[in-house]
Amino acid sequence: MIKLLEESVINKIAAGEVIERPASVIKELVENAIDAKANSITVEVDEGGKSRIKVIDDGTGMGKSDAELCIQRHATSKIEFADDLFNIHTLGFRGEGLASIVAVAQVVLKTKTKEQETGIKITASGGKILKKEDVAIQNGTSVEVSDLFFNVPARKKHLKTMQTELRQITELITRYALAYPEKMFRLMHHGNDLLFSPSAEPLDNLLTMFGKDAAYAMIPVEYTQKDITVKGFVGNPTLTRADKTMQHIFVNRRPIKNDVIVKAVTDAYHTLLHLERQPVFVLNVDIKPAIIDVNVHPQKTTIRIEKENELYDTLFNAVRNSLDSSKLIPVVESRETFIQAPLIAKNIEEEKQTVFEQVEQTPQDILEKAIQKMTEEKAVEVKPVAVPKPETKASEKISKLKLIGCVHDVFYIAQNELGLVIIDQHAAHERVMYEKLMQQFGDGKIAVQELLEPEQIDFSPTEMLLLKENIETLSELGFVFDEFGGNTMLLRTVPFIFGKNMPKEVVHDVLAQLGEK
């Protein structure tokens, strides 16, 4: 028998689509604050948002009647007619955010407009208003959420650890701070600042969020093609990561995920990136609302675009033009005149000749030479670490190579019966270091080297949380850190096999791997 569902059941079903975790709550509240033209947005959380969330803004606020209406489903001031769905200029429009939160949590809403002498305080839970009263507050809105999923125990049980939920929240606020650099964002956990982004110019905002190394390696992008405008920053090819966590995409300043944009940006780098490295970028795409559909999913992070080919071409050209104009690869100008070299060279001094020794060597011998300089100093061993020894597979050796020579101290040239073999020292070096580190880790004994001068490394807010969460694991791997202030740490020791000239990217890559686990 088919029955109409009760209102409380409908609300819980709708809330399940919109509110999945604490970060979902904060997303809805922050977007409301931005739409209310707030200049300052503060987010307070306890226990990774599982026990308490509070979002405070200095926006326009709501009148008393609107405040009562806003917690009902599909009540919104942002659209009125069906055609408005194709002309959306706000982050929210569905009228489901607050209603979904109230359906699964305890909520205290306080709000006041500048025209009112006093504001209103509404206490609600389970989709119902429990209490209304006047309150003296500043202009704007504050929403405090507690006991999330109190009436949906299965959802509450499957929340992740406090650290995981907190990282999700931090990443969320980072995205909005990058999209709206003119606004102030603050994230606090148990009363302590985790992220503070004062209103600033876009480049200064990058400096705050990513640190000076990343910010100074960014290349500005500004490009218009037809009805699409791209603005933002892309990292030069030396600024890369092992994952895509530092790729931030916005369409009309809305944080989204879009494979077409990521592919266009990555393709624009072409051969400037090493294999399996990901570019860093912060890009906003301004496009007519009429040709995009943001009403695909209640979370509004997925959009459909009418002309994906034009979008790809615009992004590709925007990034490629910026990379080309930055003159990453110097151009050698050819001379108009030249001197014909003699057919037979005479009186060439013996020591100026380059002689390649023709010897039979295995690939492993060649690769070992690539890191020989980095393993000459004496290692200092740390205390053994009790870890299980990983299973290893028998290495597959290719046939013996005849070493021909080395080109520009970058590529080894060799040959075997299959033909010419070119070995990239950079890739080979990384692979050999990885194998040695894993062998030492499996043996429970990692050799470390103390740096004469500690290395100062800047991290994103999310990376900083990961680092503090895994500080003991990093120490076991040979990376010992001291706090320096803000999102900056001092690196004291490194695994000996990396040597004192270890690239900073290695630390970021290790954190990325820890984050995936």
Together in a domain, 263 and 276: yes
In a domain, 379, yes or no: yes
Together in a domain, 449 and 486: yes
CA distance 255 to 416: 51
Together in a domain, 459 and 507: yes
pLDDT for position 195: 94
Beta strands in 154-280 (DSSP E): 184-189, 192-197, 218-225, 228-235, 240-241, 247-251, 254-255, 278-279
Together in a domain, 280 and 175: no
CB under 8 Å to 107, separation ≥6 — which residues? 71, 98, 101, 122, 123, 124, 125, 143, 144, 145
Domain boundary among the residues 199, 224, 242 is at 199
Is there a contact between 492 and 480 (Cβ–Cβ < 8 Å)? yes
Number of domains in the chain: 3
Predicted TM-score of the model (pTM): 0.78
Together in a domain, 261 and 165: no
Together in a domain, 182 and 209: no
pLDDT for position 2: 65
In a domain, 342, yes or no: no
In a domain, 337, yes or no: no
Paired with 240 in beta bridges are: 279
In a domain, 335, yes or no: no
Together in a domain, 407 and 429: yes
Together in a domain, 140 and 28: yes
Together in a domain, 17 and 134: yes
Where residue 99 sits, what CATH number does that domain have? Answer: 3.30.565.10
Where residue 298 sits, what CATH number does that domain have? Answer: 3.30.230.10
Residue 112 phi/psi, 5-degree rounding, is -160, 140
Together in a domain, 295 and 402: no
Together in a domain, 512 and 455: yes
In a domain, 346, yes or no: no
In a domain, 341, yes or no: no
List the helix and strand counts (H, then E) for the chain. 15, 25
CA distance 214 to 379: 31
pLDDT for position 275: 75
Domain that holds residue 489: 354-516
In a domain, 374, yes or no: yes
- Tokens for 371, please give them: 């890191």
Domain boundary among the residues 149, 173, 199 is at 199
Domain boundary among the residues 161, 183, 199 is at 199
Where residue 430 sits, what CATH number does that domain have? Answer: 3.30.1370.100
Place of tokens 């603005």: 231
Candidates 176, 135, 201; CA nearest to 41 is 176
Paired with 46 in beta bridges are: 52
In a domain, 124, yes or no: yes
Together in a domain, 176 and 235: no
Long-range contacts of 83-92 (CB under 8 A, 24+ apart): 85/295, 86/289, 86/290, 86/293, 87/289, 87/290, 88/289, 88/294, 89/252, 89/289, 90/35, 91/31, 91/34, 91/35, 91/254, 91/300, 92/28, 92/31, 92/32, 92/35, 92/300
Candidates 330, 179, 328, 176; CA nearest to 239 is 328
Q: Tens-digit pLDDT profile for the chain (517 aa)?
A: 766 656 665 555 555 556 899 999 999 999 999 999 999 999 999 999 999 999 999 999 999 988 988 888 666 655 454 555 555 667 765 557 888 899 999 999 999 999 999 999 999 998 889 999 999 999 999 999 999 999 888 888 889 999 999 999 999 999 999 999 999 999 999 999 999 999 889 999 999 999 999 999 999 999 999 889 999 999 999 899 989 999 999 999 999 988 999 999 999 998 888 878 899 999 999 998 888 877 666 566 677 788 889 999 999 999 999 999 987 655 545 444 444 444 444 443 444 444 444 445 444 454 444 444 334 443 444 444 444 444 444 445 556 778 888 887 778 888 888 888 888 777 777 777 777 777 777 777 788 899 989 999 999 999 999 999 999 989 988 899 999 988 999 999 998 887 777 778 889 988 888 888 7
